[in-house]
Amino acid sequence: MKTLAQPTGSPAAWPDTYGDDARERMGFFTDTSICIGCKACEVACKEWNLVPEDGMVWTGESYDNTSELGANSWRHVAFVEQNTSLRGDGQADALRWLMSSDVCKHCTHAACLDVCPTGALFRTEYGTVVVQEDVCNGCGYCVPACPFGVIDRRHLPRDSGDPPAEILGLQLGKAEDGRVWKCTLCYDRLKGGHEPACAKACPTDSIQFGPLDELRERASKRLEKLQAEKWNGARLYGHDPGDGVGGFGAFFLLLDEPEVYGLPPDPVVTTSHLPSMYRTAALAAGAVALGVLAGFLGGTR
Amino acid sequence: MSVTEAGNGMRSYYGRPVLKEPVWQPEIPAYFFTGGLAGASSILGLAARIAGNETLARRALYIGAAADLVSPPLLIADLGRPERFLNMFRVFKVTSPMSVGSWVLLVSGGATSTAALLQWTGRLKPVMIAAKIVSSLAGGPLAVYTATLVSNTAVPVWHEARQELPFLFGSSAVASAGASAAIAVPPAEAGPARRLAVGGVLVENVLFELMQKRLGMVGEPYSKGEAGRFRKIAMGCTLGGAALLARPGRRSRLAAVAGGALVLAGELAVRWSVFRAGFQSARDPRYTVEPQRERAQSRTAPAPADGSV
């Protein structure tokens, strides 16, 4: 029997469990070589998904004042200024500006989904990963489990229509929202036959939405073209089903190493080691019992 | 050097973390402590019963039940939506040590408090015996699963320590159970409890050193900042407490109480140290990027033709 913890090459619980309702696996191919850093994706995402505003800061980090993905930022455009030429034949005083719209990777083997104890995180019929906000109890386990630091707890005040609960006169609910949030790959729009808001809004088609297999082919062709044109550092990130998370549902064409964009160079889903972790736990539990018994060897009193 | 380059040549995005820091509050390491205490105490209670040490058996059982009862409120208080705590029991999910652990705590807490209640009232002896057996069977898993829970994250200092942490948490639990029983039971009948406290403390301290040595650079957070300070406090308290229990604690109740309290404080500090190390490890992109970069390079060298990473 396959368990969720064992990499299987395709997402667990998809498409088999959906029967006739299963759909083609959909995803994003974000081609950063044509991103112009307009942030229309960030705005469209916030507008469509009613993602609340969480404060304004000026970071001084190029044009990036969003800084990272989180509970209230489901698209994030990174800006990197480099003294490198765009093409391989570089001049000494070259300058290039890398821009990349980051998003939840909708992993084939998603750590957030695996570790969620309530079943709030689930695999949709499109092979994407979504949080059910009416189920999430804010345990926070998915937050450090995600190898990309995507999902986070929302610390903003609760919706006024959803006041903290009282049980036996005791306020049990908290003043803050307390649940975790992330990109849903616009699950509601997909159901209506529309593309996600960010892809729709992207003016250069840097964000491309479609069936994952199709996107992978398109990305390989695009990479070949860039390499033939000697673009510096062009590479695909997350397109390989053999990587540590079984391939991303939302993958990228980058122009430098992933860590330059704040992405992990070799992410691994933590649950791939879970079988051995359970074996270790069983041994340790046995050792605790034996250890306690050993305490009686020197006498029972 | 560009702004995306850290001092040692590692590249990052403005030095920002790759991972999110955990959102867990101090209730969680407090529960690591109470859960460990509950688990090991229920085993100690049954072992003492079988060995015929009535006082030790009773008090270890009551300590275990008390620790089991304070655990759920700690966990519920930490939830972002405490009023939805029952959602923990919507599913049983093997891929989530938190799901497995919630069920273990439910079984352990139910069994231990039933056993303690029946012991106190002196009723339904067969049920009491069954409850004690169940609670001690759940005791081992309860004492160590929290280590598996934190190991099963992307946080390098926890994930890479996955082979050691369950044993570290286990020995800490045994020491806690021994120390609290050594406080609650007169020295004349607390021999096994004292030995457990001393043995647990020694095993735990040796394990911690070995773990840090093996982890190398990834293990740095355990000896740095807040985690490092609490690691030192833990070492001082546990070893000092163990020394008190080992000698003067055999005769003097006062020394036993002081030694036991020191060990308990030390065990709480150990949990806090491991907990905070996880935050420090997630915060610094070095611990995430460098080992992954090495791994990726050792696998793909020389650079692949398709330019993939």
Provide mean pLDDT across the span B241-261. 96
Interface of A with B in 55-94 (CB under 8 A): 59, 61, 67-68, 70, 78, 80-83
Is there a contact between B309 and A257 if contact means CB atoms under 8 Å apart? yes
The answer to whether A129 touches A112, Cβ cutoff 8 Å, is yes
The pTM of the full predicted model, rounded to 2 decimals, is: 0.93
Using a CB–CB cutoff of 8 Å, tell me whether A1 touches chain B.
Answer: no
Token pair 């160079």 in the structure block, residue = A265
Q: CA triplet A138, A140, A144: central angle to 5 degrees?
A: 160
Chain A residues in contact with B154 by the CB 8 A cut-off are: 111, 144-147, 267, 270
Using a CB–CB cutoff of 8 Å, tell me whether A228 touches chain B.
Answer: no
pLDDT of residue B9: 73
For B202-212, how does the pLDDT look when each residue is reduced to its tens digit (9 = 90+)? 999 999 999 99
CA distances from B246 to B114, B171, B251 (A): 33, 17, 10
pLDDT of residue A156: 94
Interface of B with A in 71-100 (CB under 8 A): 76, 78-85, 87-88, 90-91, 93-99
- CA–CA dist A37, A81 (Å, integer): 12
Is there a contact between A267 and B163 if contact means CB atoms under 8 Å apart? no
- CA–CA dist B35, B22 (Å, integer): 20
Using a CB–CB cutoff of 8 Å, tell me whether B149 touches chain A.
Answer: yes
Confidence at B267, pLDDT banded by 50, 70, 90: very high
For B135-172, how does the pLDDT look when each residue is reduced to its tens digit (9 = 90+)? 999 999 999 999 999 999 999 999 999 999 999 999 99
Residues of chain A scoring pLDDT < 70: 1-9, 90-92
pLDDT reading at B183 higher than 90: yes
**Counting one residue from A and one from B, how many pairs have CB atoms under 8 Å apart?**
309
Could you say which of B98, B189, B191 has the minimum Cβ distance to residue A139? Answer: B98
Token pair 């089991």 in the structure block, residue = B68
Structure tokens at A287: 């050792």
pLDDT of residue B302: 57
Residue A15: asked if its preceding bond is cis (omega within 30°), the reply is yes
For A90-145, how does the pLDDT look when each residue is reduced to its tens digit (9 = 90+)? 666 788 999 999 999 999 999 999 999 999 999 999 999 999 999 999 999 999 99
Nearest to B172 by CA among B71, B273, B302: B273
What is the rounded average pLDDT for all residues in chain B?
94
Interface of B with A in 206-265 (CB under 8 A): none
- Alpha helices (H) in chain B, listed in sequence order: 27-51, 54-78, 97-121, 125-151, 156-159, 165-184, 191-215, 225-246, 253-283, 285-300
Percentage of chain B exceeding pLDDT 70: 94
Using a CB–CB cutoff of 8 Å, tell me whether A102 touches chain B.
Answer: no
pLDDT of residue A3: 46
* DSSP for B253-299, written as a single string: HHHHHHHHHHHHHHHHHHHHHHHHHHHHHHH-HHHHHHHHHHHHHHH
For A54-74, how does the pLDDT look when each residue is reduced to its tens digit (9 = 90+)? 988 999 999 999 999 999 999
Is there a contact between A288 and B43 if contact means CB atoms under 8 Å apart? yes
Is there a contact between B22 and A143 if contact means CB atoms under 8 Å apart? yes
